[in-house]
Amino acid sequence: MQEIFSKYFPNVIKKLPEFHESINQTLDMVIRSGLIAIIIGTFFGIILVVTKKNGVFDNIVIFQIVDKLVNLFRAIPFIILLTFVMPLSRSIMGTAIGVDGAIIPLIFGTVPFFSRQIESALAEISPGLIEVAESMGNTKIQIILNVYLRESIPQIARAISITLISLIGLTAMAGAVGAGGLGDFAIRYGHDRNQTDVTYATIIILVLMVSVIQIIGSFIAKKNTH
């Protein structure tokens, strides 16, 4: 096995410690920014559903504010967003480069997308279920937790999978501006030094990450579909 790797991935073998570190950096960015983005995105997604017209917390002012903010940040290309939030990254993380410096722009790049995913998932809940829950004396918060969120678990699981897969792509793009990770590793060696085996190895790892996320998401969605 070692001979096969040495034959087809000679440059990767020479840089194994750095390759491992790049994988860890990518996972670090995905986990940290993904967790925060999922929490914030879920909150905004719920707000978009419950504050719209005829929602359980009908409030057109709040809906319009959140809706426009989500649209605004979705419209900004991520490569521009990276530089746009640099001052905020420095103030919060203490740096605008490296893994820590990438967390804030990754969150800003992911939250709007995931908010729309959650909005779409919750919007599929039948109004009849909401009416039944209200007639049984459930509070508005209970309706959100026990009807909207509980009944949307399969859709939310798929939304998380799609978002994390998209986030992996964003981390690779962040690597182009010095955030580290597999994107940075592939650009520095695979592109700049024309070491194609580095590019192939990076692609293989990224495909494996995406596949694992997709399998887990599909499994959770299937187990909770009724």
Please determine, for residue 194, whether its predicted confidence score (pLDDT) is greater than 90.
no
In this structure, the number of other CB atoms found within 10 A of the CB of residue 194 comes to: 10
Helix (H, G, I), strand (E, B) or coil at 46: helix
Q: What is the pLDDT of residue 127?
A: 85
DSSP string, 168-216: HHHHHHHHTTT--HHHHHIIIIIITT--HHHHHHHHHHHHHHHHHHHHH
- Considering the four listed CATH numbers 3.40.50.300, 3.40.50.2300, 1.10.3720.10, 3.40.640.10, the one that applies to the domain covering 2-223 is 1.10.3720.10
Whether the pLDDT of residue 23 is over 70: the answer is yes
pLDDT for 1: 59
Q: How many helices (H) and strands (E) does the chain have?
A: 13, 0
State the pLDDT at residue 10: 86
Q: For residues 117 and 159, is the Cβ–Cβ distance under 8 A?
A: yes
First and final CA of the chain: distance in angstroms? 45
Domain ranges of the chain: 2-223
Give the model's pLDDT for residue 220.
92
Instruction: Give the pLDDT mean for 154-160.
Output: 94
**What are the tens digits of pLDDT across the range 37-65?**
999 999 999 999 999 988 889 999 999 99
Cα 64 versus chain centre, distance: 24
Give exposure, 9-35, as e/b (b: 16+ Cβ within 10 Å).
bebbeebeeebeebbebbbbbbebbbe
Minimal CA–CA distance to 17: which of 7, 27, 25, 28? 25
pLDDT over threshold 70, residue 167: yes
Q: Give the helix/strand (H/E) hosting 142.
A: helix 140-143
Own/partner contacts of 141-144, CB < 8 Å, gap of 24 or more, are: 143/56, 144/46, 144/50, 144/56
